[in-house]
């Protein structure tokens, strides 16, 4: 997620919590882009473009879909390089969808 930080606003960057927002408001409110948060037994990766751009749901690879919680969150309790690569590609696609819709 950090590779997109230069185009976004870092809201939180403390141990266990990294949160990004769009620099452009949406309906006069802050627009959440994503977050990575360390919980007690897992790390959660929140990707708001999955919620805001429903067509992105169809692009979630099967291996990554197993880790999905709700509409826009993935949980990890161990390192999974293959899933991380898929998540990176999905985040890139979500960022581009936000850019095309003038949301970033």
* 88, part of any domain: yes
- 56 CB contacts (<8 Å, ≥6 apart)? 49, 50, 90, 93, 94, 97
pLDDT of 2 strictly over 90: no
pLDDT tier for residue 3 given thresholds of 50, 70 and 90: confident
Give me the residue label for tokens 């590779």: 3
Count of domains forming the chain: 1
Structure tokens at 72: 């826009």
Q: Quick: pLDDT tens for 24-82.
A: 988 889 999 999 999 999 999 999 999 999 899 999 999 899 999 999 999 999 999 99
More confident residue, 26 or 86: 86
Q: Which residues pair with 12 in a beta bridge?
A: 19
From CA 41, how far away is CA 85, in angstroms rounded?
22
* 16, part of any domain: yes
* 103, part of any domain: no
Q: Would you state the pLDDT for residue 1?
A: 82
């Amino acid at each position: 997620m950090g590779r997109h930080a230069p185009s976004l606003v870092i809201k939180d960057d403390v141990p266990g919590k990294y949160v990004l927002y769009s620099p452009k408001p949406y309906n006069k409110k802050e627009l959440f882009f994503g977050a990575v948060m360390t919980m007690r037994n897992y790390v959660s990766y929140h990707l708001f473009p999955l919620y805001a751009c429903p067509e992105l749901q169809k692009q979630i690879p099967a291996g990554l879909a197993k880790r999905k919680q709700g509409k826009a969150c993935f949980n990890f309790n161990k390192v999974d390089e293959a899933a991380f690569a898929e998540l990176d590609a999905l985040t890139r696609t979500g960022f581009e969808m936000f850019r095309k819709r003038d949301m970033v």
